[in-house]
Amino acid sequence: MKYKVLISLGSNKGNRKKNLAQALFQINQNLGELIAISPIYETASWGYKDDAYLNNAICLSTSMEPIKLLDALLEIEVKFGRIRSLSKEYQARELDLDIILIEGVVVNHPKLQVPHPRMSARKFVLQPLVDIVPNWEHELLHTSLKELLLNCQDQSEIKLYGTLSLHSS
Q: What CATH number corresponds to the domain at position 41?
A: 3.30.70.560
Q: Is residue 110 in a domain? A: yes
pTM of the model: 0.92
Q: Is residue 123 in a domain? A: yes
Range of the domain at 27: 3-162
Q: How many domains does the chain have?
A: 1
- The answer to whether residues 161 and 54 touch, using CB atoms and an 8 Å cutoff, is yes
Q: Is residue 44 in a domain? A: yes
Q: So what's the pLDDT on residue 93?
A: 76
Q: Is residue 70 in a domain? A: yes
pLDDT along the chain (169 residues), means of 10: 97 94 96 97 79 95 98 94 58 87 97 96 97 98 98 95 76
Q: So what's the pLDDT on residue 52?
A: 92
